[in-house]
Structure 1
Amino acid sequence: MNDQEVRRGAGIYSKPVLGFYDLLVVKFSNSLAWRCASQLMLDQYNRCIGLRHLDVGPGTGWYLAKANLPKSAEITLMDLNENTLEHAASRLAHSNVSTRGVTGNVLEPIPEALGQFESIAANYVFHCVPGSWEDKGAAFEYLGERLADDGVLFGSTILGRGVNHNLIGRGFMALYNRMGIFHNREDDAAGLEAELRRSFRQVSVDVVGTVAVFSAREPLRKGGAGGLG
């Protein structure tokens, strides 16, 4: 995978872009373009988030800021873009949780020094990751290595195939893929589920509008270990 391509996509999120991201994506695009309400993804945060949580590609931190976080939660934010890490951390500055930012690429192994997490979120990450589902699937193995045996990986991603995009969605899809923000023309729900099952025993994928909302449990470790027990 071309590392420069990955970094170019992440680099789009400048401070000005982050300033209007919530209005464009959370308030407008989710409901009108992708037909998957932001509340649905927020509900998933509230169901799944644990005391030690890793948030990959946290964006502006909107979901974390709105979620019912456990008291004294430890939140690790991971992204390639320092602007994103700073912006998301600022949203949590006055909460009762501790935060730390880590610069990292989801397509590379995540440092063992970070420990393991009760929950990992990758919300609206994978439609921005270059390559096929087979290429993107490497990330599930790396995330599984950092997930506790009884933890949960959860998130969502906008699909390009197997869903019916409306006029607004088709326009955004064409523009964002042309700009290198999205890389999801060939992404479908079946491919996502297949790659998740390579790294987890228990997988759920539901399509809402043009968005795949997923969760995965019982990570398969290298050498065949993993899962509950």
Structure 2
Amino acid sequence: MTATNSGTPTVHPSAAIYTSFTLHFYDLVVHLSNSFAWCCSTQNVLLPLFRKHIGAQAHLDIGVGSGYYLIASMSQLAEVEKLTLVDLSHDALQFAERRLKRAGHRRAIVTLEHDTFRPFPLSMHAQYDSVSMFYLFHCLPGKFPEKADQVLTQTKTTVKPDGVVYGATILGQTHNWIGGHLMNLYNRKGVFSNYNDTKDGLQEALTRHFADVEVEVVGRVALFVARKPIWER
């Protein structure tokens, strides 16, 4: 099922790279990059984080990509009554939805083609126990804390008062030889926009919108968990 678009999204280079062709190779490229460039294991770090915080009734995944983390978390998602996928790429949404159904997901899936800088539909407000944002921030134009602040302003409206927003993003400083070359390539092409993204900048944005915030850096990746949304701002 596809929800109505909220506004007309602009196709940014970071979304344009997701095509029905490139998505077939996405998982392999990301897993290799995680291990050798960003030094943050998919299997040992990122996937356990994703699985750990999936809510009991409703989960929202923003920046769905190929749907890898969802597919790898089918046992947890099987009990979730409402699953919503959000991405700026129509191809990514279709790819992930088909992949989930082929893997045996039996409950309804809502997809929304949406720019995360824009407000979410009112029907999504305070609806989700958990909101995942994996490898989203480093693809967005701008820098920390401003871009994270803008996105979190919209994202926190979707989470229940006792819910959680969590995810991971690649930081911009001190990469190894492989990471440095990939950073230069991806930033030059507009796929990444994270040269100036720091842990402190991410933490500043998160604490502006949530009362309970955890940020940990593994390799060159910041992992974050945020609870208790703040509304008096």
Instruction: Please give the residue correspondences for 1:1-229 in structure 2 after superposition, counting only pairs within 5 Å.
Output: 4=10, 7-26=12-31, 28-39=32-43, 40-50=45-55, 51-67=57-73, 68-93=76-101, 94-115=104-125, 116-133=127-144, 134-161=146-173, 164-221=174-231, 223=232
In the TM superposition, what is the alpha-carbon distance from 1:72 to its structure 2 partner?
A: 4.2
Instruction: Provide the rounded CA distance (Å) in 1 between the counterparts of 2:130 and 2:216.
Output: 19
Instruction: Provide the rounded CA distance (Å) in 2 between the counterparts of 1:72 and 1:52.
Output: 6
Superposition RMSD in Å: 1.4
In the other structure, the counterpart of 2:3 is none
Count the aligned residue pairs.
217
Structure ranking higher on relative contact order (CA contacts 8 Å, 6+ apart): 2
Q: Secondary structure at the match of 1:192?
A: helix
Native 8 Å contact 1:65 1:91 kept in 2: yes
Instruction: Provide the rounded CA distance (Å) in 1 between the counterparts of 2:106 and 2:79.
Output: 6
Q: Secondary structure at the match of 2:21?
A: helix
Identical aligned residues as a percent: 39
Q: Secondary structure at the match of 1:120?
A: strand
Q: Which amino acid aligns with 1:217?
A: R
Native 8 Å contact 1:119 1:152 kept in 2: yes
> Which stretches of structure 1, 4 residues or more, deviate above 6 A after TM superposition?
none
Native 8 Å contact 1:72 1:98 kept in 2: no
Structure 2 spans left out of the alignment, 5+ residues: 1-8
Q: Secondary structure at the match of 1:14?
A: coil
Q: Secondary structure at the match of 2:24?
A: helix
Instruction: Provide the rounded CA distance (Å) in 2 between the counterparts of 1:177 and 1:185.
Output: 8
In the TM superposition, what is the alpha-carbon distance from 1:100 to its structure 2 partner?
A: 1.2
If the length of structure 1 is used for normalisation, what is the TM-score?
A: 0.90
Instruction: Provide the rounded CA distance (Å) in 2 between the counterparts of 1:18 and 1:111.
Output: 27
Instruction: Provide the rounded CA distance (Å) in 1 between the counterparts of 2:51 and 2:208.
Output: 26
Instruction: Provide the rounded CA distance (Å) in 2 between the counterparts of 1:135 and 1:87.
Output: 27
Instruction: Provide the rounded CA distance (Å) in 2 between the counterparts of 1:218 and 1:70.
Output: 26
If the length of structure 2 is used for normalisation, what is the TM-score?
A: 0.89
Structure 1 spans left out of the alignment, 5+ residues: 225-229
Native 8 Å contact 1:202 1:217 kept in 2: yes
In the TM superposition, what is the alpha-carbon distance from 1:41 to its structure 2 partner?
A: 1.3
Rate the CA distance shift 1:125–1:78 in 2: closer, same or farther, 3 A: same
Native 8 Å contact 1:18 1:84 kept in 2: yes
